[in-house]
Amino acid sequence: MNNRAPVRDTKQFEVLMQAVISQRDMVAYEQIFKYFAPRVKSYMMKMTADGQLAEELMQETMITVWYKADRFDPLKGALSTWIFTIARNQRIDAIRREKRPEFDPDDLAFIPDEVPAADDVIVLQQSAEELKRAMEHLPCEQSELLKMSFYEDYSQSVIAEKMNIPLGTVKSRMRLAFEKLRVALVRSGGVS
């Protein structure tokens, strides 16, 4: 397929594309490229207003045309429609890449926390046990308030509403509970 006249007809493009599909004909692909590449680049310039990006997207589009040539079906539409659909999809993918930044493995959010040392874990467990024992000695209404606040994550106003008591009562009971816990933990050696 050497020394061809410039292609202008849709049917000629389809014949060239069939040569690309069946024989991986580089000369046929070159004619398709020469015709469509500037048009795809112009389309991308209108979409992006960035010459560098338009050039890159045009190159990606035309590379996709080469590698996915066997997916072209003239019964479904013209070659130009197929190529510009690829171009549009390339642009959509570029927008998605812009909105979704590359994964940075050094980002602190992705670095796992250090595993605590075994002795630190034991100290925390012992402290938790001491706190649990100290809470058992609190009056029922005070321990209930602390459980609702810290285990169930209720605000003081929600606790007041649920227990049907004034907010000031919730605050004073919690303050008393904290003081009793502090004293109990100091006695047991849990708090300095």
Helix (H, G, I), strand (E, B) or coil at 3: coil
Tens of pLDDT, residues 22-75:
888 889 889 989 999 999 998 888 887 778 888 999 999 999 989 988 888 888
Q: In the chain, what are the domain boundaries? A: 10-99, 118-188
Q: Is the pLDDT of residue 1 over 60?
A: no
In this structure, the chain runs to a length of 192
Q: Which pLDDT score is estimated for 103?
A: 66
Q: Which pLDDT score is estimated for 8?
A: 61
Provide the CATH topology of domain 118-188: Arc Repressor Mutant, subunit A (1.10.10)
Tens of pLDDT, residues 94-142:
878 777 666 677 777 677 777 777 777 777 777 778 878 888 888 888 8
Q: List C-alpha distances in Å: 75 to 72, 78, 81, 106.
A: 9, 8, 12, 50
**Is there a contact between 78 and 10 (Cβ–Cβ < 8 Å)?**
yes
Average pLDDT rounded to a whole number, residues 167-190: 84
Q: Is the pLDDT of residue 83 over 70?
A: yes
Banded model confidence at residue 143, pLDDT cuts 50, 70, 90: confident
Average pLDDT rounded to a whole number, residues 160-169: 91
> Which one is the CATH code of 10-99: 1.10.1760.20, 3.40.50.300, 3.40.47.10, 1.10.1740.10?
1.10.1740.10
Q: What is the pTM of this model?
A: 0.48
Average pLDDT rounded to a whole number, residues 146-168: 89
